[in-house]
Chains A and B, each alone.
Chain A
């Protein structure tokens, strides 16, 4: 669909259309109200907008859906961030006594950004992504989603494509929203295996016994490793990348010389990366048997260093940290930040995510005959109601529809759980 190529200079023209006719306000409001259980949960939530020319406005807050709609349609933000639920309305944060305005709750969030994998990607760097390295994001979702559900018992996880080069996770369970800063950082650290900055070569260090969480994570990595790292990224393909891999091993211990020589001569004759890897892990196994503490898991550590999710811990830690909102537009790519369907995770293609240009164009396409009829009928109906309906139908005519549906499904799941919880509580109290 070349006609829908996104051009960032068109953004000022497209945004008003997007916020007027396409942005799923009612679902959005439904999400952040969480069933209206806690008073002022939506009203005390911070939003922050990035406007044209990088003008950044923090501490926006809205009393209800229509105020949110009106403000967004008025300001047409380039980017929307969601912050914490505060003790007071964020828009009035200057009017309360300093020290009393505090961030109370927020979803537990995770931010995984492809730039953090630059030292282990051979295909792209910085903000660029391709279908090969996107596998890293797939692996990240698989590992984190399992752990957050099975280990931590969370159920309501919203995975979202950030619009450019990464993914976000919003854990929306009540327990997650109420987590303290210490709790958030403990969860994030539990989930972090790759550690160290530019001054650390070997960033994964395993020790005996392997924690069940590490075993589970390894199983995921092993599933993708050959296809992704060995074939796709070809990390054992040329001598430069091969050396990088082997250095992780060599730097650790003075390998017995004959092992090194053995490896070198093998690599000279064998070019097949899978066989090369088999050789490496075979040698590690051997070493494991003949003692040597500290490098018994080196093959696993290499796999993890190349594939394991790299979290930005600081984003997860802070209750008041802002994160780009779902359904916000990414100003650089024009892509909408859409929820990811975990059932179709392996098929998720970031390049197929609709851009604002695409969906706005889809709006202009002539309606089908059937729709035309409905429009005729509608004219007789109440004007306001019709406008409301038209808006719902609007997004349904675009590629955004399936993502909004996904969002709806997520919200239904939360509503069901809330209902179940209320029933359970009243059963406990024997109130019928």
Chain B
């Protein structure tokens, strides 16, 4: 079967194509594959990437648990992992590597179409690559670098001698003795941004001095650059692929799978009155929104980050544009902003949120992941995730003031300590709604709100979310997936119910 011009090329002998268990995906596959295999490969890689995403939120990426869970997913899905392909299993190892190769290229087709999709795909593939590369033995790493022609400038002995103190204090795992033994690479700081960002590398004159053990940082950067270029190229040749009516629906299916429920559906517009917001904020708002609401009422102002996070949430629970304008104006003019200033400086951004200005994008409410991972709050900010961005001591006081029992507070703080912020929030939900097991896995503030309304039986006032299959899809996305429903994800179709 032939799928695109690319696959129509002469099928070459595949020996020696997969000389290493890890690939840089430099060359696209040139063989013919069946439609069934195409589909299976794509689904399984997608599943792998989703696991990568889920685990990345729940665990520190270098922790044992992360490694263990991801490793087991690898073997479940038959992706290559171990460097040493023992001879007996050579054939299966070849199959695994082939699958790794082909499935990566299929998803490139599905995920090259928009900026958002590309970002998601690159992020997951990078995490995947990092995980696999760091699992390699040092010998195997060198082989990989060699096979893929990755060469970096090393730092001379004299230079190392001169900088030894600084090199030692820039990296956790380098000591005075090992500095002289191991290679250091000197690259422009732009090529090692992850190390720069976290201050885990020595910088001098615009160059980063990277110890051999951190070489993953530069390799990964190379990986990112190449992949992002490749995706841009793929996007250009996409029309040719999409003209194949067998592939088109499949690809669009695949690319929709990652998004999950976005809570932007406007069916519930106007179902909430402004007077309801105060009582709802204590009953049915997740802590992050309750905090924003409270500080808005107290300070009659919210900074940009807070306005975005809270404003979009309110839009998601059903405030209309007119209501939103009224809501924000009435609060802001109680503070330092007069009505005139509000109309000039803030009304625009409210309309913008509703897609009535600028690019006219109808913005979607922020998910937990977005709240937790992007734009952390700084001085004067009240946005973010209270479980992630509060001092544990302050969080404790806050929970006490909300009349939670000491044992309940401890349960929540334990989860926070383990960095399970969404689980902590879900625990808070269960405790405040007096239910044992909420039966959903929380990944969106608006989901919290709807679930709460459902439990409280006030559903008549707000739009009730019917039990559609996309609830399952959403569930498989969130933190809960890492708990027990990883297995429940077997039904892959659940992933595709969103569109």
Within 8 Å of chain A (Cβ to Cβ): is B390? yes
In the complex, what distance in Å separates the CA atom of A179 from the CA atom of B170?
Answer: 23
Q: Which residues of B contact A186 (CB under 8 A)?
A: 193-194, 196-197
Mask for B376-394, Cβ within 8 A of A = 1, else 0?
A: 1111111110100111011
Q: Which residues of A contact B169 (CB under 8 A)?
A: 209-212, 215
In the complex with contacts A183-B190, A314-B375, A54-B341 CB distance below 8 A: yes
Q: Are A200 and B394 in contact (CB under 8 A)?
A: yes
Within 8 Å of chain B (Cβ to Cβ): is A115? yes
Within 8 Å of chain B (Cβ to Cβ): is A202? yes
Residue from the list A118, A175, A187, A210 in contact with B379, Cβ < 8 A: A118
In the complex, what distance in Å separates the CA atom of A135 from the CA atom of B390?
Answer: 29
In the complex with contacts A151-B203, A154-B206, A210-B169, A185-B197 CB distance below 8 A: yes
Q: Are A153 and B207 in contact (CB under 8 A)?
A: yes
Q: Which residues of A contact B384 (CB under 8 A)?
A: 197, 199
Q: Are A190 and B291 in contact (CB under 8 A)?
A: no
**Number of residues of chain A lying within 8 A (CB) of chain B:** 44
- Minimum Cβ distance to chain B for residue A136 (Å): 13
In the complex, what distance in Å separates the CA atom of A214 from the CA atom of B395?
Answer: 29
In the complex, what distance in Å separates the CA atom of A210 from the CA atom of B199?
Answer: 10
- Minimum Cβ distance to chain A for residue B372 (Å): 14
Q: Which residue of A lies closest to B343 (CB)?
A: A54
In the complex, what distance in Å separates the CA atom of A40 from the CA atom of B390?
Answer: 47
- Minimum Cβ distance to chain A for residue B224 (Å): 9
Q: Are B391 and A54 in contact (CB under 8 A)?
A: no
Q: Are B378 and A202 in contact (CB under 8 A)?
A: no
- Minimum Cβ distance to chain A for residue B25 (Å): 21
Q: Are B193 and A152 in contact (CB under 8 A)?
A: no
Residue from the list A115, A117, A198, A213 in contact with B382, Cβ < 8 A: A198
- Minimum Cβ distance to chain B for residue A128 (Å): 14
Within 8 Å of chain A (Cβ to Cβ): is B249? no
Q: Are B390 and A54 in contact (CB under 8 A)?
A: no
Q: Which residues of B contact A54 (CB under 8 A)?
A: 341, 344-345
In chain A, positions 51-95 with a C-beta closer than 8 Å to chain B are 53-54
Q: Are B190 and A200 in contact (CB under 8 A)?
A: no
Q: Which residues of B contact A310 (CB under 8 A)?
A: 378-379
Q: Which residues of B contact A421 (CB under 8 A)?
A: none
In the complex, what distance in Å separates the CA atom of A298 from the CA atom of B197?
Answer: 23
Residue from the list B206, B390, B393 in contact with A153, Cβ < 8 A: B206
Mask for A182-218, Cβ within 8 A of B = 1, else 0?
A: 1101110110001111111110000001111111000
Mask for B188-206, Cβ within 8 A of A = 1, else 0?
A: 0110011011110011111
Mask for A352-395, Cβ within 8 A of B = 1, else 0?
A: 00000000000000000000000000000000000000000000
- Minimum Cβ distance to chain A for residue B247 (Å): 24
Q: Are A150 and B205 in contact (CB under 8 A)?
A: yes
Q: Are B390 and A213 in contact (CB under 8 A)?
A: no
Q: Are A211 and B378 in contact (CB under 8 A)?
A: no
In the complex, what distance in Å separates the CA atom of A353 from the CA atom of B168?
Answer: 45
In the complex with contacts A152-B206, A195-B376, A213-B199 CB distance below 8 A: yes
Q: Which residues of A contact B304 (CB under 8 A)?
A: 314
Mask for B142-178, Cβ within 8 A of A = 1, else 0?
A: 0000000000000000000000001011101000000
In the complex, what distance in Å separates the CA atom of A426 from the CA atom of B29?
Answer: 43
In the complex, what distance in Å separates the CA atom of A61 from the CA atom of B345?
Answer: 23
In the complex with contacts A179-B190, A186-B196, A199-B390, A115-B380 CB distance below 8 A: yes
Residue from the list A53, A118, A182 in contact with B193, Cβ < 8 A: A182
Q: Once A and B bind, how many residue pairs between them come within 8 Å at the CB atom?
A: 116
Within 8 Å of chain B (Cβ to Cβ): is A313? yes
In the complex, what distance in Å separates the CA atom of A121 from the CA atom of B304?
Answer: 23
Within 8 Å of chain B (Cβ to Cβ): is A408? no
Within 8 Å of chain A (Cβ to Cβ): is B295? yes
Within 8 Å of chain B (Cβ to Cβ): is A119? yes
Mask for B328-350, Cβ within 8 A of A = 1, else 0?
A: 00000000000001001100000
Q: Are A213 and B203 in contact (CB under 8 A)?
A: yes
In the complex, what distance in Å separates the CA atom of A300 from the CA atom of B199?
Answer: 18
In the complex with contacts A150-B204, A183-B190, A119-B197 CB distance below 8 A: no
Q: Which residue of A lies closest to B393 (CB)?
A: A251
In the complex, what distance in Å separates the CA atom of A118 from the CA atom of B383?
Answer: 18
- Minimum Cβ distance to chain B for residue A237 (Å): 23
Q: Are B391 and A151 in contact (CB under 8 A)?
A: no
Within 8 Å of chain B (Cβ to Cβ): is A116? yes
In the complex, what distance in Å separates the CA atom of A189 from the CA atom of B172?
Answer: 19
Q: Which residue of B lies closest to A153 (CB)?
A: B206
Q: Which residue of A lies closest to B172 (CB)?
A: A209
In the complex with contacts A185-B197, A190-B196, A201-B391 CB distance below 8 A: yes
Interface centre among B168, B375, B379 (most CB of A within 10 A): B379
Q: Are B197 and A199 in contact (CB under 8 A)?
A: no
Q: Which residues of B contact A211 (CB under 8 A)?
A: 169-170, 199
Q: Which residue of B lies closest to A56 (CB)?
A: B344
Interface centre among A185, A198, A210 (most CB of B within 10 A): A198
Q: Are A116 and B380 in contact (CB under 8 A)?
A: yes
Q: Are A197 and B207 in contact (CB under 8 A)?
A: no
Q: Are A251 and B391 in contact (CB under 8 A)?
A: yes
Mask for B431-456, Cβ within 8 A of A = 1, else 0?
A: 00000000000000000000000000
Residue from the list A150, A151, A189, A202 in contact with B197, Cβ < 8 A: A189
Q: Which residues of A contact B395 (CB under 8 A)?
A: 199
Mask for B29-45, Cβ within 8 A of A = 1, else 0?
A: 00000000000000000
Q: Which residues of B contact A116 (CB under 8 A)?
A: 378-380
In the complex, what distance in Å separates the CA atom of A211 from the CA atom of B345?
Answer: 42
Q: Are A197 and B206 in contact (CB under 8 A)?
A: no
Interface centre among B193, B202, B344, B395 (most CB of A within 10 A): B193
Q: Which residue of A lies closest to B304 (CB)?
A: A314
Interface centre among A98, A118, A199, A213 (most CB of B within 10 A): A199
In the complex, what distance in Å separates the CA atom of A152 from the CA atom of B381?
Answer: 29
In the complex, what distance in Å separates the CA atom of A229 from the CA atom of B386?
Answer: 31
Q: Which residues of A contact B393 (CB under 8 A)?
A: 201, 251
Q: Are A200 and B380 in contact (CB under 8 A)?
A: no
Q: Are A195 and B378 in contact (CB under 8 A)?
A: yes
- Minimum Cβ distance to chain A for residue B348 (Å): 9
In the complex, what distance in Å separates the CA atom of A312 from the CA atom of B168?
Answer: 30
In the complex with contacts A213-B199, A213-B203, A199-B382 CB distance below 8 A: yes
Q: Which residue of B lies closest to A202 (CB)?
A: B391
Q: Are A197 and B380 in contact (CB under 8 A)?
A: yes
In the complex with contacts A151-B203, A201-B393, A210-B169, A119-B378 CB distance below 8 A: no
In the complex, what distance in Å separates the CA atom of A119 from the CA atom of B378?
Answer: 12
- Minimum Cβ distance to chain B for residue A216 (Å): 10
In the complex, what distance in Å separates the CA atom of A314 from the CA atom of B359?
Answer: 20
Q: Are B375 and A200 in contact (CB under 8 A)?
A: no
Q: Are A199 and B203 in contact (CB under 8 A)?
A: no
In chain B, positions 116-151 with a C-beta closer than 8 Å to chain A are none
Q: Are B380 and A198 in contact (CB under 8 A)?
A: yes
Closest 10 CB pairs of A and B: A153-B206, A197-B377, A197-B381, A199-B390, A153-B205, A209-B169, A151-B203, A186-B193, A186-B197, A116-B379
Q: List 9 A-B contacts (CB under 8 A).
A: A98-B359, A194-B379, A197-B376, A198-B295, A198-B379, A199-B389, A199-B390, A200-B394, A201-B394
The residues of A with any CB-CB pair to B shorter than 8 Å are: 53-54, 98, 115-119, 150-154, 175, 179-180, 182-183, 185-187, 189-190, 194-202, 209-215, 251, 310, 312-314
Not counting A118-B380, A196-B376, A213-B199, a sample of 19 additional A-B residue pairs whose C-beta atoms are within 8 angstroms of each other reads: A54-B345, A116-B378, A116-B380, A151-B203, A186-B194, A190-B196, A196-B377, A198-B295, A198-B382, A199-B377, A199-B382, A199-B384, A199-B395, A200-B377, A200-B390, A200-B394, A201-B394, A211-B170, A251-B391
